[in-house]
């Protein structure tokens, strides 16, 4: 509590807001929202915050709830299966991960908006982080912009690579010859991928990757660029015979908790299709 600095101030609410911003790093946008909703109140020597304002999810609960990997009052991490979009894009009407999260909130009695912090390609499986309130969203969005949310992927690439680590630093832009494809281009946006070849398989390689940037299709474009497209990734030259979509899975997500500052690490086990493909190709 800011104590006398608030008690003796001509405008105690303004002083409380200033303290929240300077001492607890409350985002100014959230403070404005709380003020407008009457969510900041002084009761004697106590400061009361109504931070968890009820919100509509924004999506119908028309899907089964997702597999929850981590959850608290501020954050939710769920597994996104391959073939499921993170949110609707207008192309089709089938349920998305957003609808599944809405179903989870409905089942648990939470009145929270569905707010994803990052995305995954439709056919990439792995963990997706959601903010359960405005405070968490603003803090996590800021962390994402500062590249403080780390995502680690596992993939099976075509061809036998050398064991070891490398960094791919190659800008990515749109391919003007294809509406969905991206390509390495000197006029593209900066894109950096760190990778480690963990195991040489029969005609393929098991690699672990970490993104320094988050361009559309970044891993797929970079792996194709170095001559090792992902198995199943027909759009970028991968062989579709053994798997019908890119052999790519997000195996870990790491972030700092928006309120406590605690380091959170969430693992997402390999899905059966990746395990089976790996076993088939082992030497």
Report if residue 33 sits inside a domain: yes
Q: What gap in Å lies between CA 129 and CA 136, rounded to an integer? A: 11
- Whether 117 and 34 map to the same domain: the answer is no
Instruction: Indicate whether this model's pTM tops 0.75.
Output: yes
CATH code, domain carrying 75:
3.30.2350.10
Report if residue 138 sits inside a domain: yes
Q: What is the pLDDT of residue 62?
A: 86
Residue 23, pLDDT > 70, answer no
β-partners of residue 115 are 131
Q: What gap in Å lies between CA 138 and CA 250, rounded to an integer? A: 24
- Whether 194 and 245 map to the same domain: the answer is yes
Q: What is the pLDDT of residue 27?
A: 72
> pLDDT confidence of 91, banded at 50, 70, 90?
low
> pLDDT confidence of 11, banded at 50, 70, 90?
low
Report if residue 264 sits inside a domain: no
Residue 64, pLDDT > 50, answer yes
Share of the chain above pLDDT 90, in %: 72
Long-range contacts of range 42-49, CB-CB < 8 Å, 24 or more positions apart?
42/6, 42/12, 42/13, 42/16, 45/1, 45/7, 46/1, 47/1, 47/2, 47/6, 47/16, 49/20
φ and ψ at residue 229, rounded to 5 degrees: -60, 155
| Mean pLDDT, range 274-279, rounded to an integer | 98
Q: Which of 5-19, 102-116, 139-153, 231-245 has the lowest mean pLDDT?
A: 5-19
Q: What gap in Å lies between CA 113 and CA 52, rounded to an integer? A: 11
Report if residue 266 sits inside a domain: no
- Whether 156 and 137 map to the same domain: the answer is no
The helix (H) or strand (E) run that includes residue 145 is helix 134-145
| Mean pLDDT, range 23-39, rounded to an integer | 71
Q: Are 166 and 189 in contact (CB under 8 A)?
A: no
- Whether 38 and 110 map to the same domain: the answer is no
Q: What is the DSSP string of 154-206?
A: EEEEES-PPSEEEEEE--EEE-TTSSS-EEE-TTSB--EEEEEEEEE-SSEEE
Q: What gap in Å lies between CA 242 and CA 234, rounded to an integer? A: 12
- Tell me the CA end-to-end span of the chain in Å, nearest whole number: 63
Write the pLDDT tens digit of every residue in 181-200: 999 999 999 999 999 999 99
Catalytic residue numbers read: 121
- Whether 133 and 161 map to the same domain: the answer is no
Q: Are 249 and 271 in contact (CB under 8 A)?
A: yes
> pLDDT confidence of 12, banded at 50, 70, 90?
low
The sheet that has 68-71: what strands, in order across it? Answer: 68-71, 75-80, 126-131, 115-116
- Looking at per-residue confidence, does 251 or 19 come out higher? 251
Report if residue 260 sits inside a domain: no
- Whether 67 and 12 map to the same domain: the answer is no
- Whether 167 and 230 map to the same domain: the answer is yes
- Whether 99 and 36 map to the same domain: the answer is no
Task: Give residue 229's domain range.
Answer: 152-249
| Tokens describing residue 198 | 């963990």
Report if residue 254 sits inside a domain: no
Report if residue 17 sits inside a domain: yes
- Whether 71 and 123 map to the same domain: the answer is yes
Chain mean position to CA 232:
23
The count of structural domains within the chain is: 3
- Whether 142 and 112 map to the same domain: the answer is yes
The three-state (H, E, C) secondary structure of 95-126, written as one string: CCHHHHHHHHHHHHCCCCCCEECCCCCCCCEE
- Looking at per-residue confidence, does 57 or 140 come out higher? 140
Q: What is the pLDDT of residue 10?
A: 53
- Give, as one character, the DSSP assignment of residue 134: H
Report if residue 265 sits inside a domain: no
Cα-based distances in Å from 112 to 78, 162, 163, 218, 240: 15, 47, 46, 31, 40
Residue 160, pLDDT > 60, answer yes
Is 35 strand, coil or helix? helix
- Whether 76 and 92 map to the same domain: the answer is yes
- Whether 244 and 158 map to the same domain: the answer is yes
């Amino acid at each position: 509590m800011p104590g006398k600095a608030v008690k003796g101030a001509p405008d105690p609410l303004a002083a409380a807001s200033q303290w929240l911003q300077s001492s607890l790093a409350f985002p100014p946008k959230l403070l404005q929202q709380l003020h407008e909703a009457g969510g900041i109140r002084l009761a004697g020597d106590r400061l009361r915050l109504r931070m968890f304002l009820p919100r509509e999810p924004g999506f119908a609960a028309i899907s089964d709830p997702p597999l929850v990997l981590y959850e608290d009052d501020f954050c939710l991490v769920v597994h996104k299966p391959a073939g499921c979009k993170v949110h609707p894009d207008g192309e089709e009407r089938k349920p998305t991960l957003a609808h599944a999260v809405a179903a989870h909130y409905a089942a648990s009695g939470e009145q929270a908006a569905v707010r994803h912090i990052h995305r995954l390609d439709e056919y990439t499986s792995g963990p997706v982080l959601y903010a359960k309130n405005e405070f968490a969203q603003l803090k996590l969005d800021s962390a994402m912009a500062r590249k403080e949310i780390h995502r680690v992927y596992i993939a099976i690439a075509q061809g036998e690579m050398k064991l070891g680590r490398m960094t791919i630093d190659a800008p990515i832009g749109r391919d003007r010859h294809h509406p969905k494809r991206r390509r390495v281009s000197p006029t593209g946006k900066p894109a950096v991928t760190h990778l480690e070849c963990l195991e040489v398989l029969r005609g393929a390689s098991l690699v672990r990757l970490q993104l320094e940037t988050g361009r559309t299709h970044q891993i797929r474009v970079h792996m194709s660029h170095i001559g090792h497209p992902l198995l199943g990734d027909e759009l970028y030259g991968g062989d579709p015979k053994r798997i019908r979509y890119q052999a790519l899975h997000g195996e870990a997500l790491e972030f700092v908790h928006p309120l406590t500052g605690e380091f959170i690490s969430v693992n997402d086990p390999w899905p059966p299709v990746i395990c089976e493909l790996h076993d088939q190709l082992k030497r």
